[in-house]
Amino acid sequence: MEIYVGIVLLDENERIFLIKEDDKNRISEGRWNIPGGSVDLGESLLEATKREVKEETGYNAQITSLVGCYKGKKSDKSWVYIVFSAKIISKKQRPTDPSIKEGKWFSKEDFLHLNAHELVHPDMQLAYNIAIEERGAPTDSVKYIDYDIQ
């Protein structure tokens, strides 16, 4: 089973950054998604989250909280998807992930009025609300344990 992270990336005006990307698993197919991707071997969840934000958006971000955890399935594949909130801490640079086709900031009103068929999953709006209301779990509750060196 694979592990993925997703990021509710916010700016100072509570806008959310969404992407459209090539999708090898045919889940997002032209719909808006939050940035994110797979966790590499030996990488913590928070390290993967920071890396994915940078690769897919061009921003450096401060991870602020854990806002959701999901188990997904499609055909014979299953995965765990862990969603964090983050705030940008630097000016945008060029994203390095070639699979990103479009990135766009959405105001709170515009994002919350997107139809379900325009989003990869409607729980993105729930995760956004948890993030802006600061109801997520603190990042110090997210640990990486390497039992080989413990």
The answer to the question of residue 118 being in a domain is yes
Contact 30, 119 (CB under 8 A): no
pLDDT digit string, tens, across residues 132-146: 999 999 999 998 888
Q: N- to C-terminal Cα distance for the chain?
A: 24
Residue 133 forms part of a structural domain: yes
Q: How many domains does the chain have?
A: 1
55 assigned to active site: no
Which tens digit of pLDDT belongs to each residue from 99-134?
Answer: 888 999 999 999 999 998 899 987 999 999 999 999
> Is position 150 within any domain?
no
Q: Pick 149 or 130 by higher pLDDT.
A: 130
Is 122 domain-assigned?
yes
Domain that holds residue 104: 2-89+97-139
Contact between 62 and 56 (Cβ < 8 Å) = no
Strands 2-10 and 77-88: parallel
Pairing label, strands 16-21, 77-88 = unpaired
pLDDT at 24 over 70: no
The pLDDT score that the predictor gives to residue 90 is: 86
CB contact set of 144 (below 8 Å; sequence gap of 6+): 44, 45, 46, 47
Confidence of residue 150 (pLDDT cuts 50, 70, 90): low
Confidence of residue 25 (pLDDT cuts 50, 70, 90): low
Using alpha carbons, select from 28, 8, 3, 4 the residue that is nearest to residue 105.
Answer: 8
- For residue 95, which amino acid is it? P
| Residue 144 located in a structural domain | no
Look at residue 147 and tell me if it is in a domain.
no
Distance CA 47, CA 124 (A): 21
Domain assignment present for residue 124? The answer is yes
Please, is 48 exposed, middle or buried when counting C-beta atoms within 10 Å of its C-beta (0-12, 13-18, 19+)? buried
Structure confidence by residue, pLDDT tens digits, 42-91: 999 999 999 999 999 999 999 999 999 999 988 899 999 999 999 999 88
Q: Give dist(CA 44, CA 8) in Å, integer.
A: 18
**pLDDT at residue 28 above 70?**
no
Contacts of 31 (CB under 8 A, 6+ apart): 20, 117, 118, 119, 120
pTM of model > 0.75: yes
CATH number of domain containing 36: 3.90.79.10
Residue 149 resides in a domain = no
Do the beta carbons of residue 72 and residue 120 sit within 8 Å?
A: no
What is the average pLDDT across 18-45? 87
Residue of 29, 102, 118, 134 marked catalytic: 102
* pLDDT range class, residue 26, cuts 50, 70, 90: low
| Residue 96: band (very low, low, confident or very high) from pLDDT cuts 50, 70, 90 | confident
